[in-house]
Amino acid sequence: MARCLLARRPTAYREPRLIEESIWLCILYYVYFLRSRKNGSLYIGQTNNIDKRLERHNSGQIKSTKNRFPFDLIYSEKYNTRREAMLREKHLKSLAGIKDKKAIIERLTLGL
């Protein structure tokens, strides 16, 4: 289940009380594939903020990818929990996950 919380934000002030609007904020987790524009290599990772993470990869702030940037985001999957995303990332990086990784890359190549 996604990590969600009910947040209240003020929408208007009417004397003598504040009127609030309730909104649900949910945090999703992502497994993503990056392709290096420098050498074409592939990187697989997981995060809860894909835009910020891509920015960090492309500015050389990530130790494991700093010598291969810039990157393009080529694929991502959404998960409700960090645990699910971490397990998927681990699988895709394992020998058992090579078949799945190749299938994803083939679908991307064919434009499916």
Domains, the chain, ranges and CATH?
3-110 (3.40.1440)
**Looking at the whole model, is its pTM more than 0.75?**
yes
Q: Whose CA is closest to 35, among 56, 65, 61?
A: 65
In this predicted structure, what is the pLDDT of residue 3? 65
* pLDDT digits 0-9 by tens, 34-86: 999 999 999 999 999 999 999 999 999 999 999 999 999 999 999 999 999 99
What integer pLDDT is reported at residue 32 of this predicted model?
Answer: 98
Is 1's pLDDT higher than 80?
no
- Which residues in 15-69 belong to E strands, given as ranges? 17-27, 29-36, 42-47
Whether the per-residue pLDDT at 91 is higher than 80: the answer is yes
pLDDT at 23: 65
Assign 6 a pLDDT band (cuts: 50, 70, 90). low
| Residue 86 to residue 92: CA distance in whole angstroms | 10
User: Tell me, what's the pLDDT at 14?
Assistant: 53
Would you say the C-alpha torsion 28, 31, 36, 40 has a positive or negative sign? negative
**Beta carbons of 31 and 43 less than 8 angstroms apart:** no
What would the pLDDT profile of 12-26 be if each residue is shown by its tens digit? 555 555 455 666 677
